[in-house]
Structure 1
Amino acid sequence: MVTIKDVSELAGVSQATVSRVINGKCRVGTDKKLRVERAIKILGYRPNAIAQALASCRTGSIGIIVPELGGFFSGILNSMERLLRNLGYHVIVTTGSNTEQSEQESVEFMLNRRVDAIILHTQQLSDEYLIDLEKKGIYIVLINRIIPEIAESCINIDNVLGGLIATKHLINMGHKTIACITGPLEKADARERLEGYRQALNSSDIEYRDDLVVEASFTEESGARATEKLLGRNYEFSAIFASNDHMAFGASEVLKTKGYAIPEQISLIGFDDVIFARYLTPSLTTINFPVESMSEEAVQLVIQKIKKHDKNVNFKLSPSLVIRASVRNLKET
């Protein structure tokens, strides 16, 4: 096996000079640097990754923690892994399983593997815990969450705006009795989307009614149960705003089973624009969650932190309306 000693002998420099060239830690004269690089190429020398990491205090790896691997989060993971790999970083992924203890264990797992930084999608870890990580000098980036004390480590979507856009679209289509299936209200994004719904109703002088709102848990099954609950209350409504697409899928299934035609009898709008939304029958009108943009901004921010560059990213992203076939225009009747 080729060693650093072999490189130094062929290049005619000290082993310390070879080490400096490999790690890029100190300035080395151009002539010596070129000789070392030529010797490395001739000999096919591969630096020891562990030794390099110890010397540079970097491992070239980024940790990513998400609640689960499938569904909505698979798009985020695929985007960030591709972007980071193109920048020369490897990704270590683990799930937090939507519990505070599991997410803390995931953070400790990453720290024990000496990742250079951690990107987190977490609603369970407390603000104080995450702020403390920053105080310890650990590079973190939060996605889809804002903590004012560490705002320059947070890439967030304007969930209030998204809820407002969704509800406003229904109102503009002539709907005045609009039900809402929220996500779990202990989560900030669910509360914010509900707030957008309320703001849209208020701005159109439509009364907010508790009996038209049901809390669910961002899953298809919970969306189905919430829809059954809404129908069981015997209050008439012409449209449903589901705070994510998976709950909208569950709502769609229940409505069809109960004999309601979409959108002829009840219109339906979701949030996230997951891939399957376009293949639902009828195709789902929804709010686009800018996954690719969020991934790009998070990757740029984490690299800027590692390299100690000025932070130059878009910290708050705007969602947009995706019009498909699941909303009926009542003004045309």
Structure 2
Amino acid sequence: MKNPEKSSVTIRTIAEMANVSHTTVSRALNGSPLVKPDTRKKIAEIAKEIGYVPNINAKSLVMNRSYMIGIFFTNLDTGTSASFLTEVMQQSQTTLPNSYSLSVNSIDNVMTDQGILMKNFDGILVLSQSPTDDEFIDYIHEMGLPLVVLNRKIGRKDITNYAPNDFVGAKNVVEYAIRMGHTKFGLIKGIKSFESSKQRSEGFFEAINAHDIQIDPNFVKRGDYRPESGNRLMRQILSSGEVPTCVFCENDDMAIGAINACIELGYRVPEDVSFIGYDDMSYSQYMTPPLTTVRKPTSLIIQKGVASLMAILEDGESKKITQQVIDPEIIVRSSVVNRIKE
């Protein structure tokens, strides 16, 4: 292949050599999921061979882009666990084209600090956990910024939205514990204002009530999704005079704290107290015992969200609205003992 002079190399040069459109070349060089992997590879090889070097600064000026994507959580100070934040960021970095950068922000900060300028972002991903985010979502939508809302099902139908079905996940995993012979349950809830906690609690009680199981009020506590609250609240449950045979913690982080409380107080897990978590964080399979939990489809939700945002940015597909609620998966490990054998 004859190489053109480097000074004359442009995207159109690559397009002619690859026999594709210059738009396809631009997308491929940006790592767009809209271009087939084989085509991306071919274009990357040609670009490397002829010495093409993109000028990001010039491209930003010409296209009036910052190449910055804003990821906004409901609140980074409370409620957003470190493990969930890490998983979201890792998956976003993996899925987003290489030319883009990420900026992590808290919705609470934006609504009180006007120093965060929305116009600095090409697009916005909202990891929504509460209906209190609706004001911010409305604000971004009215600005006309490309927007995708993830993690919570929203009421409006004119914004692309991907969310997990936490109600079904909680209901199914508690029904599994009931089939294992458990009838004496404890519950450590998440933050009251969060939709995830609401759905998981409703799923828990749906399964319990369907089997006419009564719950001791002393076994139901409200946490904040952090390990410290799981530990503290489990100590309260154990000091109530009775001990549940199975405790459902509404996320894995609280389950870690609760299990440690049992071990510290001399209870065997799962023989004396079994545990169920939620989210299936990366560490869950390495806990002692490995944690039975619900695998929240966070990676899939992020992949779909980033791909949809890129489609809006690159093709202007803002009118193509996709809304999907994705069922989670039950992950059975050894933290729930089979009491039927007893």
Short-chain TM bin: 0.7 to 0.9
TM-score w.r.t. the length of structure 2 is 0.77
Correspondent of 1:123 among 115, 120, 129: 129
Counterpart position of 1:162 = 169
1:77 correspondence with 2:89: yes
Post-superposition shift, 1:297? 1.1
Higher-RCO chain (CA-CA 8 Å, sequence separation at least 6): 2
What is the rounded CA distance, in whole Å, between the counterparts of 1:94 and 1:287 in structure 2? 26
CA contact (8 A) 1:297 1:313 kept: no
Distance verdict in 2 for CA 1:41–1:225, change over 3 Å: closer
Post-superposition shift, 1:237? 1.4
Distance verdict in 2 for CA 1:249–1:107, change over 3 Å: farther
What is the rounded CA distance, in whole Å, between the counterparts of 2:199 and 2:193 in structure 1? 11
Q: Which amino acid aligns with 1:323?
A: V
Number of aligned residue pairs: 297
Distance verdict in 2 for CA 1:106–1:41, change over 3 Å: farther
CA contact (8 A) 1:268 1:285 kept: yes
What is the rounded CA distance, in whole Å, between the counterparts of 1:152 and 1:101 in structure 2? 21
1:140 correspondence with 2:144: no
Distance verdict in 2 for CA 1:302–1:232, change over 3 Å: same
Distance verdict in 2 for CA 1:49–1:225, change over 3 Å: same
Counterpart position of 1:15 = none
* SS of aligned partner of 2:96: helix
1:229-240 alignment, distance < 5 Å? 229-240=236-247
CA contact (8 A) 2:159 2:321 kept: no
Q: Which amino acid aligns with 2:135?
A: E
What is the rounded CA distance, in whole Å, between the counterparts of 1:52 and 1:240 in structure 2? 55
Counterpart position of 1:93 = 103
Q: Which amino acid aligns with 2:169?
A: G
1:276 correspondence with 2:283: yes
Q: Cα RMSD between the aligned structures?
A: 3.1
* SS of aligned partner of 1:118: strand
Post-superposition shift, 1:298? 0.9
1:261 correspondence with 2:268: yes
What is the rounded CA distance, in whole Å, between the counterparts of 2:99 and 2:182 in structure 1? 49
Distance verdict in 2 for CA 1:171–1:51, change over 3 Å: same
Post-superposition shift, 1:129? 2.4
Distance verdict in 2 for CA 1:52–1:59, change over 3 Å: same
* SS of aligned partner of 2:116: helix
| Stretch of structure 1 that moved more, 209-218 or 305-314 | 305-314
1:292 correspondence with 2:287: no
* SS of aligned partner of 2:103: strand
Identity of aligned residues (%): 25
Counterpart position of 2:32 = none
What is the rounded CA distance, in whole Å, between the counterparts of 2:71 and 2:123 in structure 1? 9
1:185 correspondence with 2:186: no
Counterpart position of 1:308 = 316
What is the rounded CA distance, in whole Å, between the counterparts of 2:225 and 2:142 in structure 1? 33
CA contact (8 A) 1:181 1:214 kept: yes
What is the rounded CA distance, in whole Å, between the counterparts of 1:272 and 1:65 in structure 2? 20
Distance verdict in 2 for CA 1:48–1:282, change over 3 Å: closer
What is the rounded CA distance, in whole Å, between the counterparts of 2:114 and 2:105 in structure 1? 10
Post-superposition shift, 1:162? 1.4
What is the rounded CA distance, in whole Å, between the counterparts of 1:202 and 1:47 in structure 2? 61
Distance verdict in 2 for CA 1:158–1:110, change over 3 Å: farther
* SS of aligned partner of 1:148: coil
What is the rounded CA distance, in whole Å, between the counterparts of 2:124 and 2:297 in structure 1? 21
Distance verdict in 2 for CA 1:269–1:61, change over 3 Å: same
CA contact (8 A) 1:84 1:90 kept: yes
